[in-house]
Amino acid sequence: MAMLHTVNKSVFERNSLDSCISMAKAGSSILLIEDGVVSAVAGTAASDRISKAMESITFYVLGPDLKARGMSEDRIIDGIKVVNYEGYVDLTTEHDNIQSWL
Amino acid sequence: MADVKKFMYVNRKAPYGTIYALESLEVVLIGAAFDQDVSLAFVDDGVYQLTKGQDTSEIGIKNFSKTYSALGDYEVSKIYVDQESLDERGLTLDDLQHLVWEDEDEDWAEKDSIRILSRAEMADLFEEQDVVLSF
Contacts of B56 in chain A (CB under 8 A): 67-68
Interface check for B6 against chain A (CB to CB < 8 A): the answer is no
Interface check for A67 against chain B (CB to CB < 8 A): the answer is yes
Q: Write out pLDDT tens, residues B75-127.
A: 999 999 999 999 999 999 999 999 999 999 999 999 999 999 999 999 999 99
Contacts of A68 in chain B (CB under 8 A): 15-16, 54-56, 58-59, 61, 63
| ipTM for the whole complex | 0.90
Interface check for A34 against chain B (CB to CB < 8 A): the answer is yes
| Residue partners of A36: CB distance under 8 A and separation at least 6 | A6, A7, A8, A9, A10, A11, A16, A17, A65, B17
How many CB atoms lie under 10 A from the CB of residue A60?
20
In contact, B68 and B97? CB cutoff 8 Å: yes
pTM: 0.94
Above pLDDT 90, what percent of chain B? 94
Q: Letter for the amino acid at A11?
A: V
Please determine, for residue B2, whether its predicted confidence score (pLDDT) is greater than 70.
no
Is the CB of B95 less than 8 angstroms away from the CB of A70?
yes
Is the CB of A9 less than 8 angstroms away from the CB of B54?
no
Q: For residue A85, give how far its alpha carbon lies from the nearest alpha carbon of chain B (Å).
A: 9
Is the CB of A71 less than 8 angstroms away from the CB of B51?
yes
The interface residues of chain B toward chain A in range 63-82, judged by CB-CB distance below 8 A, are: 63, 65
Looking at domain B6-134, which of 3.60.20.10, 3.90.550.10, 3.40.50.1970, 3.40.1260.10 is its CATH number? Answer: 3.40.1260.10
Is the CB of A67 less than 8 angstroms away from the CB of B56?
yes
For chain A, domains (ranges, CATH) are: 3-101 (3.40.1260.10)
Q: Write out pLDDT tens, residues B40-65.
A: 999 999 999 999 999 999 999 999 99
**How far is Cα A23 from Cα B130, in angstroms, rounded to an integer?**
45
In contact, B78 and B39? CB cutoff 8 Å: yes
